[in-house]
């Protein structure tokens, strides 16, 4: 089993052409801590997550795992250390649930079939889906699909987990099950960055809440400070809208 590590973004900048989406983002997540990122649509939350695992290369700034810059690392190897869960799950529809989880174990970790299957089944068991191993993603509910996606990421024993609005595409009654998995993972000591609109989750689970607006983290702090004693007017306005 691996150990989770601390994560830090320092002055991260990124522009898509003339559109300066990230304008100097700073974010620090202690080892084993959970940071929730909140903020209005288009503020750059998803883009920030993608620069953390270098699905997008930042133009400027630094990303550190365990205090060490990862921008010089092999990006594919880096992404094996960082699990990511998407709003739309991004499961592979042409494979069974089990194969979705074993693909990276077998091709990247070079595990044998039996070992990979056993590991994947154990991971599916943990998210309550042991019985769905042979189903296709399309045969599952959205909530179940998202839990498979989480199991798929966790099977690689990541040191950090990134969640991009993992419950936004789900029917309301399915949200709870996915949030429960995420809360358990947080309590078990995974370092997590969670972009979310679920303010209740942020309040209960986060160690740090970071408010992003127009490409910067405008305000960050423990949930009580953010939700009860917000300083910045824009954050207060945002909270007034979503709470």
Ligand X SMILES: Nc1ncnc2c1ncn2[C@@H]1O[C@H](COP(=O)(O)OP(=O)(O)OP(=O)(O)O)[C@@H](O)[C@H]1O
Binding residues for ligand X, rule: CB under 6 A, are 16, 19, 21, 39, 41-47
Give min distance, CB of 27 to Mg ion, in A: 15
How many binding residues for Mg ion (CB under 5 A)?
1
Candidates 25, 27, 119, 181: give the one binding other proteins (CB under 8 A): 181
Identify which of residues 97 and 193 has a Cβ nearer to ligand X in the complex.
193
Q: Which is nearer to ligand X, 51 or 186 (CB)?
A: 51
Between 47 and 86, how does the x/- string for binding to other proteins read (CB under 8 A)?
------x-x--------------------xxxxx--xx-x
CA distance 167 to 183: 13
- DSSP for the chain, please give it: ------EEEEEEEEEETTEEEEEEEEEEE-TT-EEEEE--TTSSHHHHHHHHTTSS--SEEEEEETTEE-TTS-HHHHHHHEEEE-TT----TTS-HHHHHHHHHHHTS---HHHHHHHHHHHHHHTT-GGGTTS-GGGS-HHHHHHHHHHHHHTT--SEEEEESTTTTS-HHHHHHHHHHHHHHHHTT-EEEEE-S-HHHHHHH-SEEEEEETTEEEEEE-HHHHHHS--SHHHHHHHHHH-
Choose among 20, 90, 5, 89: nearest CA to 52: 5
Residue 205 binds which entry of other proteins, ligand X, Mg ion, none, CB below 5-8 Å type-dependent:
none
Is residue 193 near other proteins by the rule CB under 8 A?
A: no
Query: Least distance from C-beta 35 to Mg ion, angstroms?
Result: 16
Residue 19 binding partner per list Mg ion, other proteins, ligand X, none, with a CB distance cut-off of 5 to 8 Å that depends on partner kind:
ligand X
- 16 forms beta bridges with 19
Find the shortest distance in angstroms from Cβ 55 to other proteins: 6
Among positions 32-61, residues that touch Mg ion (CB under 5 A) are 46
How far apart CA 1 and CA 229 sit, in angstroms, is 39
Q: CB under 5 to 8 A by kind: which of ligand X, other proteins, Mg ion, none does 32 bind?
A: other proteins
114 binds, among ligand X, Mg ion, other proteins, none (CB under 5 to 8 A by kind): none
- Give the C-alpha separation, 153 to 85, whole Å: 7
Residues lying near other proteins in the complex (CB under 8 A) are found at: 1-4, 30-33, 53, 55, 76-80, 83-84, 86, 88-94, 96, 103-104, 107-108, 126-129, 131-136, 138-139, 141, 143-144, 147, 152-154, 156-159, 173-174, 176-177, 180-181, 184-185, 187-191, 207
Residues lying near Mg ion in the complex (CB under 5 A) are found at: 46
């Amino acid at each position: 089993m691996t150990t989770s590590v601390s994560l830090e973004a320092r002055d991260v900048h990124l522009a898509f052409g003339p559109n300066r989406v990230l304008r100097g983002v700073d974010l620090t997540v202690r080892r084993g801590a959970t940071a929730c990122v909140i903020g209005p649509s288009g503020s750059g939350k998803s883009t920030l997550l993608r620069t953390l695992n270098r699905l997008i290369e930042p133009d400027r700034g630094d990303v550190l795992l365990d205090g060490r810059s990862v921008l010089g690392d092999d990006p594919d190897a880096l992404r094996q250390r960082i699990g990511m869960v998407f709003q739309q799950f991004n499961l592979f529809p042409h494979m069974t649930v089990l194969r979705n989880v074993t693909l990276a174990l077998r091709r990247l970790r070079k595990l044998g079939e039996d070992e990979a299957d056993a590991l994947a089944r154990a991971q599916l068991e943990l998210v309550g889906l042991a019985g769905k191993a042979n189903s296709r993603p399309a045969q599952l509910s959205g909530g179940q699909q998202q839990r498979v996606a989480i199991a798929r990421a966790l099977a690689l024993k990541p040191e950090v987990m990134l969640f991009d609005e993992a419950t936004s595409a789900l029917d309301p009654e399915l949200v709870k099950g996915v949030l429960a998995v995420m809360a358990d993972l947080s309590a078990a000591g995974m370092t997590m960055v969670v972009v979310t609109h679920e303010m209740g989750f942020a309040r209960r689970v986060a160690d740090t809440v970071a408010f992003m607006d127009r490409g910067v983290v405008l305000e960050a702090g423990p949930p009580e400070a953010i939700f009860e004693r917000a300083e910045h007017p824009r954050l207060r306005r945002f909270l007034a809208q979503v709470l």
